[in-house]
Amino acid sequence: MVYLLYGTKQYRINEEIKKISKNIDKMNISRYDLNNDALKNVIDDCETYSLFQDKKIVIADNANVFTGTTSKDSEIIEKYLNNINQSTILIFIVHNEKIDSRKKITKLINKNGKVLEFNDELNVESLIKEQLKDYNIEYKNIKLLIDRVGTNPLIIQNEIDKIKIYKGEDRNITKEDILNLTIKKVEIDIFKLIDDIVKGNKEDAIEIYHEMLKANEEPLKIVIMLANQFRIIYQSKELLKKGYSEKDIAAILKIHPYRVKLAIQNSRTYNDKTLLKFIDELANIDLGIKTGTMNKNLALELFILK
C-alpha cells in the first residue's frame, strides 16, 4: 500500500500516520527525510522484506517530488508504483498546501494507493473534547485551556498528555489542574509588560515576567528586549517631534513600520525623563547580570517591584 499525505496541518498528518501504523511494531517503522536522504534508499527499504513481521512501514518525509519541482526521482517512484511490495506500507509526506495532480506519479498513487489532503481548519474545541472524552471537564475549562496554550494542536496534545499523566486514575480535570500544569502561551508582548511597569501594575507585570520564565525565556534576553523597546519608544517620540512621518522613522530606525506605529501610540503615555530613567536602569541590570554582580533571576523582578 502507498499513501501520499499532504497539507499544512502537521498534527492531522501525524494522527493519520498513527492510525496507519497502529498495529505495526516500532522496530518495523523506518523514517527518511528526502531533503537529506536519497530516494533510492527509501525504495530499497520498501523492497526489502521484514524479518520480524508481515508488514512494515516506510515513511518518506518532504517528498517534494510531488509538487511542481522537476526531479529524476519521479522515474524511481514510477517504477516502484508499477510493482509495489505488498508487505510494505509506503507513506510519502508533503508539507505543502497543494501537490501537482497532473504528474504521472500522483495519478499512479491515486490509482494504486491513497492520496489524503490535510488542509482544512481544525476545530480546536472538538479536538480537546476528543482527547479528553474519558474525562470530566467543564466547557469553561476547555476555553481556559485554549486561552492558556493557544490553538496549535501539537502544543495542545503535549499539554493534555501532561495533565493525563498527572491525574492518573482521577478523571476530573479542574481549573486548578489547568492553571498548575500547563504553560501559558506567552505572546511576548513587551509593550504590555512595559505598560504595566510604567503604570505601576506590579502584580500584572510580575505575572507576565513569571510566565516568560516558565516558557524558558532567558532573563537577560527579556532585559535586552525591554531596553530596546523603551529605546524605540523614546527615539520614535523624538523623531515625531521633529516632524518625521511613521514611514520615515521606520526607515531611520531600520525597523518594521508596525513597530513604529505601536511605539508612537505608547510614547504618548511616557515622558522623556521616565523613558531615559528606565533605559539607564535596564543598562545597569544588563551589565550586572553579565558581570555576575546581580542575580539574573531576581534583577529584573526587583526592577519591576520598585
* Domain end position, chosen among 117, 140, 167: 117
pLDDT digits (tens, 9 = 90+) for 268-290: 777 888 889 999 999 999 999 99
Do 202 and 300 have their domain in common?
yes
One domain for residues 43 and 7? yes
The domain total for the chain is 3
The DSSP annotation for 5-58 comes to EESS-HHHHHHHHHHHTTTS-GGGEEEEETTTS-HHHHHHHHHSPPSS-S-EEE
Q: 24-28, 76-80, 256-260: which has the minimum mean pLDDT?
A: 256-260
CA pair distance 264, 160, nearest whole angstrom:
40
- The CA radius of gyration of the chain, in Å to the nearest whole number, is 27
Q: Indicate the pLDDT class of residue 122, thresholds 50, 70 and 90.
A: low
118-123, long-range: CB < 8 A, 24+ apart: 118/5, 118/6, 118/7, 118/8, 118/9, 118/12, 118/13, 118/16, 119/7, 119/8, 119/9, 120/9, 122/9, 122/11, 122/12, 122/153
Q: Which of 65, 86, 117 marks a domain boundary?
A: 117
Say whether both 110 and 22 belong to one domain. yes
Q: Is the pLDDT of residue 187 over 60?
A: no
Structural domain that includes position 224:
190-305
- Bridge partners of 94, per DSSP, are 6
Question: Do residue 195 and residue 301 come from a single domain?
Answer: yes
Examine the domain organization and report whether 37 and 112 are in the same domain. yes
CATH at residue 128: 1.10.8
- Give the end-to-end CA distance of the chain in Å, rounded to a whole number: 66
The answer to whether residues 68 and 52 touch, using CB atoms and an 8 Å cutoff, is no
- pLDDT band of residue 163 (cuts 50, 70, 90) is very high
Statement to judge: residues 158 and 204 lie in one domain: no
Residues 214 and 258 in one domain: yes
Given this model, what pLDDT does residue 293 score? 92
Q: Which grid cell sits at 206?
A: 510580575
Q: Considering only CA atoms, which of 143, 268, 94, 118 is closest in space to residue 195?
A: 268
In the chain, % of residues over pLDDT 90: 36
Last-in-domain residue among 181, 199, 224? 181
Q: What CATH number should be reported for the domain holding residue 251? A: 1.20.272.10
177 and 227 share one domain: no
Q: Label the pairing between strands 114-117 and 2-6.
A: parallel
Say yes or no: 135 and 36 in one domain: no
State the helix-helix crossing angle for 219-241 and 272-291, rounded to 10 degrees.
Answer: 150
The CA-atom distances, in angstroms, between 44 and each of 40, 78, 114, 124 are 6, 14, 21, 40
Query: What's the pLDDT band for 31 if we cut at 50, 70, 90?
Result: very high
Secondary structure class of 90 (helix, strand, coil): strand
42 and 99 in a single domain? The answer is yes
What pLDDT is attached to residue 186?
Answer: 57
Closest to 144 measured CA to CA, from 159, 133, 134:
159
**pLDDT tens-digit series, residues 202-213:** 888 898 888 788
Helix (H, G, I), strand (E, B) or coil at 234: helix
pLDDT tens readout for residues 85-96: 989 999 999 988
- Mark residue 243 as left, alpha or beta (left: phi above 0; alpha: psi -120 to 50; beta: remaining): left
Do 76 and 139 belong together in one domain?
no
CB 88 within 8 A of CB 24: no
> Average pLDDT over the chain, rounded to whole?
86
Band of the pLDDT at 120, cuts 50, 70, 90?
low
pLDDT at 257 > cutoff 80: no
d(CA 257, CA 245): 10
pTM recorded for the entire structure: 0.48
Question: Which residue carries 498513487 as its cell?
Answer: 109
**108/6 same-domain check:** yes
